[in-house]
Amino acid sequence: MRVDALVHRAVEALDDSRGRASDVAAELALVLSVSEQHARRVVDLSATLVRRLPQTLAAMESGVLDSCRASKVASATAWLDDEQARQVDSTISSKLAGKNPHQVRRVATYWAMKADPEGAARRASVRRAERSVQLLPGDDGMSTLLADLPAEVASSAYARIDRMARTLRGTNESRTLDQLRADVLAELLLGTNTDGSGAKADVHVYVDLTTLAGLNDNPAQLAGYGPVPASVAREIAHQPSSTWRRIVTDPLTGAPVDVGRHRYRPPAVTDEFVRVRDRECRFPSCHRPAHFGDNDHHIPWSAQGSTSHSNLVNLCRRHHRLKDRPGWTYRLHPDTGAVTITTPSGATYTSDPEPLHDPPPLQRPGALRYEEDPVTRENTTEPGDGGEPSSRRRGLGIGTRTCWPARDGHGLA
């Protein structure tokens, strides 16, 4: 990590001293024994880190990031101007420790969208217009069918394929789950599927109500994918197949404190609350959406563990089973919802549930305030609160192609 930082500073110094000459990459390729194309990427990344992302480079020098993770910040902010890139760099510099490359890119992408929401909307519009399908011939009688689709469409399509494939598994089924997914996809495309299991799949988008109303342009979160521009969230939310869902969040932390019960098929509220809170599998680095996973009892039911949100954690099936392997221990912190996992070698990793909205900034010590948008402010009372105004804010939720608005206490599901 520190060595990588030294290399990037040296490469940028060389490139600057040579007046950004085009042959710098050719010389660097000889020094590093890599292709010129790879060397050009090193030159470009070095210039970006030194000139646009000094805090990211400092994180490399302190051992927090390596070149791979730093490149994720660079690519996620590449479309911003220099001032916006430095703003994002400063904002996220304290948020990247312990994150894998995918998580680093998610964080950087989210804040890049916040820095320039109009630019994010334009880019999304251009990319959606470039949707395509390609056939890539392969070896050994195989080919790859590649579909470049809007994130929510691809997520919904995969969810449907996965759900149908899982219904076909049984004692007499010899195909693996991957084979079943491939066969289901082919049958759907060729029109040969007759098993009747083609139920529409859900995708979950978390977005705040004020963004849906067009009062701000905060990025939304597509479960299993990451940030999407506000314009995309509004487009999904207002599709005829979308349903909305209320979520109440703590205005200071962004954590959900209640999930509305009104939906086409009323859910088990506790089960749904945990899926909203966790959003994805809670195993560090796993991003399988929570609505595909298992809500696991941290303290087993057989050991008098309660079926409550303080004793439930969402895990995908693979990491649920891993919990029972020798040497693995999972610890749920009921007060925060954080999960700490200890591996057989004794290393520990902690996963915190992401807040559904950004906590407000502190005003000054002893004067913590939360500014509500005057247009959406509700001065409500809760049962049993003695008539005092509620400190929680209400929201709405969207579901199936499910949208969950979720900042400033306003949630969609």
3-state SS, one letter per residue, for the chain: CHHHHHHHHHHHHHHHHCCCCCCHHHHHHHHHCCCHHHHHHHHHHHHHHHHCCHHHHHHHHCCCCCHHHHHHHHHHCCCCCHHHHHHHHHHHCCCCCCCCHHHHHHHHHHHHHHHCHHHHHHHHHHHHHCCEEEEEECCCCCEEEEEECCHHHHHHHHHHHHHHHHHCCCCCCCCCHHHHHHHHHHHHHHCCCCCCCCCCCCCEEECCHHHHCCCCCCCEEECCCEEECHHHHHHHHCCCCCEEECEEECCCCCCEEEECCCCCCCCCHHHHHHHHHHCECCCCCCCCEHHHCEEEECCCHHHCCCCCHHHEEEECHHHHHHCCCCCCEEEECCCCCCEEEECCCCCEEEECCCCCCCCCCCCCCCCCCCCCCCCCCCCCECCCCCCCECCCECCCEEECCEEECCECCEECC
Q: In this predicted structure, what is the pLDDT of residue 61?
A: 94
Is the pLDDT at 138 greater than 80? The verdict is yes
273 pLDDT tier (thresholds 50, 70, 90):
confident
* Inter-CA distances, 254 with 250, 354, 397, Å: 5, 8, 15
Alpha-helical (H) ranges within 193-247 are: 209-212, 230-237
Residue 249 binned pLDDT confidence (cut-offs 50, 70, 90): low
Tokens of 123: 């880019």
Rounded-to-integer distance, Cα 301 and Cα 214, Å: 45
Tell whether pTM > 0.85. Answer: no
Question: How is 375-397 classified by DSSP, letter by letter?
Answer: TT----B-TTSTTPBPSSB---E
CB 52, CB 87: distance < 8 Å: no
Q: Which residues contact 347 (CB under 8 A, 6 or more apart)?
A: none
Tell me what the pLDDT averaged over the chain comes to. Answer: 79
pLDDT of residue 373: 38
Q: Which residue has the higher pLDDT, 156 or 255?
A: 156
Contacts of residue 355, defined as CB under 8 A and 6 or more positions apart, other chains included, come to 249, 253, 254, 255
Q: How many CA atoms lie within 13 A of 321 on its CB side?
A: 2
Whether residue 137 has pLDDT greater than 70: yes
Residue 111 has pLDDT above 70, yes or no: yes
Question: Which of 3-12, 167-176, 335-344 is the most confident on average?
Answer: 3-12
Give the pLDDT mean for 195-205.
60
Q: Whole-angstrom Cα distance, residue 217 to residue 114?
A: 7
**Higher pLDDT among residues 231 and 260, named by residue:** 231
Rounded to whole angstroms, the Cα distance separating 302 from 299 reads 8
pLDDT digits (tens, 9 = 90+) for 302-314: 777 777 777 888 9
Q: What is the pLDDT of residue 140?
A: 80
Do residues 76 and 105 touch, judged by C-beta distance below 8 A? yes
CA distance 259 to 399: 12
Percent above pLDDT 70 for the chain: 77
Question: Which residues have C-beta within 8 Å of that of residue 130, sequence separation ≥ 6?
Answer: 148
Residue carrying the six token digits 């404190």: 257
Average pLDDT over residues 222-241: 82
Retrieve residue 235's tokens. 């487009």
Q: Helix, strand, or coil here: 260?
A: coil
Q: Tell me, what's the pLDDT at 395?
A: 36
**Which amino acid would we find at residue 314?**
N
Residue 298 tokens, joined: 């941290």
* Per-residue pLDDT at 360: 62
CA dist 22 and 193 (Å) reads 55
Q: Would you give the end-to-end CA distance of the chain in angstroms?
A: 41
Looking at beta carbons, which pairs linking 299-307 to residues 24 or more positions away fall under 8 Å?
307/270
Between 194 and 118, whose confidence is greater? 118
C-alpha–C-alpha distance, residues 371 and 408, integer Å:
9
Can you tell me the distance from the alpha carbon of 275 to that of 271, in angstroms, rounded to the nearest whole number? 7
Tell which wins on pLDDT, 295 or 132: 132
